[in-house]
């Protein structure tokens, strides 16, 4: 069982990265093509651009396997913030919480066991510095 989970951890990492990256990419594309369309303080264009830019960075780091535990937790928190502020792009308003639950459930093994093999720095940064 442990080897199966160890081999599935990169799949979980890529799946969470795909959910987060698709949301961030689509939201950045929409926000930069029409940045002055929204005037509500909770969905200000600059705040949405910054939040989705952080989400895109988290997706790239998850894909590469850099500090998987910390980055997976940060990605779930940022995705929850995007979902609660109503800035979720993928599908309708009902799809946002469902994809958030899927991302959180796929991130739980990453938070507990790490990113598995095939990571850019599998041991973290302790061997680099």
pLDDT for 128 equals 52
Q: Identify the pLDDT of residue 37.
A: 58
**Number of domains present in the structure of the chain:** 1
Residue 121 lies in a domain: no
Give this prediction's pTM: 0.78
Q: In this predicted structure, what is the pLDDT of residue 56?
A: 92
Reduce the secondary structure of the chain to three states and give it as a string.
Answer: CHHHHHHHHHHHHHHHHHHHHHHHHHHHHHHHHCCCCCCCCCCCHHHHHHHHHHHHHHHHHHHHCCCHHHHHHHHHHHHHHHHHCCCCCCCCCCHHHHHHHHHHHHHHHHHHHCCCCCCCCCCCCCCCC
Res 74: pLDDT:
92
Structural domain includes residue 60? yes
Please tell me the predicted confidence (pLDDT) of residue 6: 76
Domain-located, residue 122: no
On whether residue 64 sits in a domain, the answer given is yes
Q: Per the domain annotation, does 123 fall within a domain?
A: no
Give the pLDDT score at 126.
Answer: 62
Domain ranges, residue 75: 2-113
Q: Determine the pLDDT at residue 79.
A: 86
Taking 50 as the pLDDT cut, the residues of the chain under it are 39, 41
């Amino acid at each position: 069982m442990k080897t199966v989970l160890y081999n599935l951890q990169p799949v979980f990492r890529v799946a969470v990265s795909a959910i987060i990256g698709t949301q961030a990419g689509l939201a950045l594309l929409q926000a930069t093509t029409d940045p002055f369309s929204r005037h509500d303080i909770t969905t200000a264009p600059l705040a949405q651009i910054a939040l989705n830019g952080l989400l895109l960075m988290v997706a790239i780091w998850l894909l590469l396997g850099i500090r998987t535990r910390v980055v997976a937790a940060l990605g779930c928190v940022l995705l929850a913030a995007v979902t609660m502020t109503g800035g979720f792009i993928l599908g309708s308003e009902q799809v946002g919480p469902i994809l958030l639950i899927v991302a959180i459930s796929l991130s739980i093994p990453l938070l507990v066991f790490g990113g598995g093999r095939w990571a850019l720095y599998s041991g973290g940064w302790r061997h680099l510095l």
